[in-house]
Structure formats: C-alpha cells, structure tokens
Amino acid sequence: LFCSGSRSSKTFKPKKNIPEGSHQYELLKHAEATLGSGNLRMAVMLPEGEDLNEWVAVNTVDFFNQINMLYGTITDFCTEESCPVMSAGPKYEYHWADGTNIKKPIKCSAPKYIDYLMTWVQDQLDDETLFPSKIGVPFPKNFMSVAKTILKRLFRVYAHIYHQHFDPVIQLQEEAHLNTSFKHFIFFVQEFNLIDRRELAPLQELIEKLTSKDR
C-alpha cells in the first residue's frame, strides 16, 4: 500500500485482486512496466501473442480499482446533499438501471448511483463465467459487449468527478493522479474502440487536451 502524503488508501469498494502467479497477473505487471515508461499509447497496445479478451479483462479490473480509489478519496464531498442527481455538468444526467434488478432507469443521487454502479461492476468481475481467472477457461462469446458496458459506465464516474468534484481533487493534490488514470483509460478505450464517441461527450474537451500531446 502506498500512503504518499495525504492520499488516503481507502477505496470505495474492496479492491479486486488478480491472483499472483496467474497469467493475468503477468499481464498486469507488463501493463504496469510499460506505463512506467510514460508512453501511454504504447502501454495500452495488445502485447504480442496475447489474447484480446484477456488483455481487456485485466485492464478493466485495473480501471475498476483505480476509479474505486479515486472516488474513495472524495466520497466526503459527494453526498446526497451536494449531488442529488448523478450528473456530469448541466447537460448530462444519468439514471440507473442494471437490466436485471432495476429494469426501468431510476433517478438517484450521485453517491447512490456510483454505489449501484461499482457493486454491479464488482459482481461481474467476481463472476468466473464472465471474467475467468483460471488459465484455459474460455471467455464467454459476449465478453466484449460485457466489457464495453462496464467501461462505458466507469467513464461516468470520471465524468462526475471532473465536473462536480474537481476542487477537492486539487485540494487533495490528486489532480495528476486523476489525469494520468483518465488519460490511460481514454487511450485504452480508443485503442480498442470500446466506448462510443457520443458517450464520451461530457469530457470531450478534456479528452482532446489530454490526447493531443501524444499523437
């Protein structure tokens, strides 16, 4: 655990661990090593000879953990009172539905929405039929569409943090951490075309700013 400065190591939900010694753990280590080189475009590329599903799975777990931690640092600022709706600026409001327990989208506060969202993601990451952690167990045929929906929704947490809680992020000196994490996320979803451009609209200007330096 790193406890640099004021950064709290509390996560919003328990961290999802990739088992050590597994192939996915090796992939995660590979991703971390390439990230360390600072070249994010290179870091997101599918390593030679690797399975795309597995690469997307490992990175989805990693982004869940990153967002989990980033949101965990600002939960004190994201309350029923401060954020009665789940929004990303005045033009974008999200209503929650998971398609199973809640079929008709409900309007709820941001903390409630993010709680639903992160629990929903967690349940899927823990589901061995969707995210197999054992070598040789195949990914389901619909894996990519499952991953796309997860990433599309995780993006909304970044969008909410940027639009509604950027001041506390700056006060907590988490800005560089948030930007690096988001930039990594964007490069990843762009590399494999995982999120529709219109879904990214709430942070379009920021995305252009963060990615223009690395063309």
DSSP conformation letters of the chain: ----TT-----SS---PPPTTSHHHHHHHHHHHHHHTT-HHHHHSPPTT--HHHHHHHHHHHHHHHHHHHHHHHTTT--TTT-SSEESSTT-EE-B--SSS--S-B---HHHHHHHHHHHHHHHHT-TTTS--STTPPPPTTHHHHHHHHHHHHHHHHHHHHHHSHHHHHHTT-HHHHHHHHHHHHHHHHHTT-S-GGGGGGGHHHHHHHHHTT-
Q: What is the per-residue pLDDT for 135?
A: 76
Closest CA to 70 of 165, 5, 146: 165
Domain boundaries, the chain: 23-212
Read off the amino acid at residue 101.
N
- In the chain, % of residues over pLDDT 70: 93
Q: How confident is the model at residue 70 (pLDDT cuts 50, 70, 90)?
A: very high
Residue 47 contacts residue 142 (beta carbons within 8 Å): no
The whole-model pTM stands at: 0.90
How far apart CA 124 and CA 162 sit, in angstroms, is 26
The answer to the question of whether 108 is labelled as a binding residue is: no
pLDDT digits (tens, 9 = 90+) for 74-127: 999 999 999 999 999 999 999 999 888 889 999 999 999 999 999 999 999 999
Q: What is the per-residue pLDDT for 40?
A: 85
Q: How confident is the model at residue 213 (pLDDT cuts 50, 70, 90)?
A: low
Q: What is the per-residue pLDDT for 4?
A: 36
Q: How confident is the model at residue 27 (pLDDT cuts 50, 70, 90)?
A: confident
pLDDT digits (tens, 9 = 90+) for 158-211: 999 999 999 999 999 999 999 999 999 999 999 999 999 999 999 999 999 988
Whether 5 shows a pLDDT value over 50: the answer reads no
The answer to the question of whether 184 is labelled as a binding residue is: no
Q: What is the per-residue pLDDT for 30?
A: 81
Lowest-confidence pick of 7-16, 56-65, 77-86, 177-186: 7-16
Q: What is the per-residue pLDDT for 47?
A: 93
Read off the amino acid at residue 68.
N
Please report, in angstroms and rounded to a whole number, the separation of the first and last CA atoms in the chain: 34
Q: What is the per-residue pLDDT for 10?
A: 59
Q: What is the per-residue pLDDT for 193?
A: 97
CATH superfamily, with its number, for domain 23-212: MOB kinase activator (1.20.140.30)
How far apart CA 35 and CA 112 sit, in angstroms, is 32
Query: Pick the residue with more confidence: 32 or 199?
Result: 199
Whether 24 shows a pLDDT value over 90: the answer reads no
pLDDT digits (tens, 9 = 90+) for 114-143: 999 999 999 999 999 999 988 788 999 999
The answer to the question of whether 3 is labelled as a binding residue is: no
The answer to the question of whether 30 is labelled as a binding residue is: no
